[in-house]
Amino acid sequence: MTATLRVRGSVRQISGTLVMGVVNASPESFSDAGQYATLDDRIALADGLVAAGADVIDIGGQSAITNQPEVQAALEIERVVPIVEWVHRAHPDVLISVDTYKPPVVDAVLAAGADIINDVSGLLHPEVAGQAGAAGAALVIMHNRARPKVRLQDPDLYDDVLADVVSFLATRMERAVQAGMPREGIVLDPGPDFTKTPQQTLAVLRGLDALRALGRPLLLALSRKDFLGAILNRPPRGRDAGSLAALALLGAAGGNIARVHDVAASVDVVRTVEHLMGRQELSGTYLLPEELRHERGAAGSPAAT
């Protein structure tokens, strides 16, 4: 699938998968656990993600973790705007996404240079769609049957979880269009783990073709998620191999943006998938250079195998 996405007046053809690196500007992050505590740490992280090949940087000032209250909009702005401004100046070719659903934060980050609003609330505040549309920014709409920061996992919540995701996102997309958001600027996120048990998340991910039929790019926010923890019996930082496996399988269809923590490894996965799927090709005359055929030993000679 090739998807078209309009961002700030430019149209991007997404035949494969764009890689979105995560910058958590929140000490309560479930994955980073406050590892990047200062603004300098977070800017250095963003810089490293770009160097590793990220097409998009996603900046969040409020973690989705559910054992803490929502962050006040003013604090969220304080956390994310300086990073948005820095990435906008330092890496003008990289798309900037901000993970927020609060209208005051949306106004602030769009003014600072954000290109994408990543709304994990499922348009809790419909005016966010109008704000993004007026600025020419793209908008991610995520399936979520609860208010942000509220944990809802009920095996009996859905008669058909995949049908619910498709219906919810189709309806929210129409609301966004009515609010002034151009359809070609919308990205859809099936919301792995959000108001879903691990098994419900798997049921949705196995049926993504039904969601692709809506004709919009998909955000694959798979990295380190709880459904992988359930499969692998590992905490978040032990789920990277599973994250890459999920990306390889679900990214094969194309038309995706993958939100990831390990950008360098994810870029390698995407590049490999693109060549295996025939969307990228090696020259028929290309031969691997000698320096890439062997690991080098301490003295510069090929290492023993």
Catalytic residues: 225, 259
Task: Give the C-alpha separation, 46 to 263, whole Å.
Answer: 11
Q: What is the DSSP letter of 253?
A: G
Task: Give the C-alpha separation, 36 to 60, whole Å.
Answer: 12
Residues near 115 by Cβ (< 8 Å), separated by ≥ 6? 7, 8, 95, 96, 97, 137, 138
DSSP H or E run through 118: strand 116-119
Burial readout 129-162 (b: 16 or more C-beta within 10 A, e: otherwise): bbbbbebebbbbbbbbbeebbeeebeeeebeebb
58, 17, 96: which is closest to 269 by C-alpha? 17
Both tokens assigned to 232: 């692998």
Can you tell me which residue has the tokens 């909009």? Answer: 73
Burial readout 67-76 (b: 16 or more C-beta within 10 A, e: otherwise): eeeebebeeb
- Cβ atoms 46, 87 nearer than 8 A: yes
Both tokens assigned to 66: 């559910």
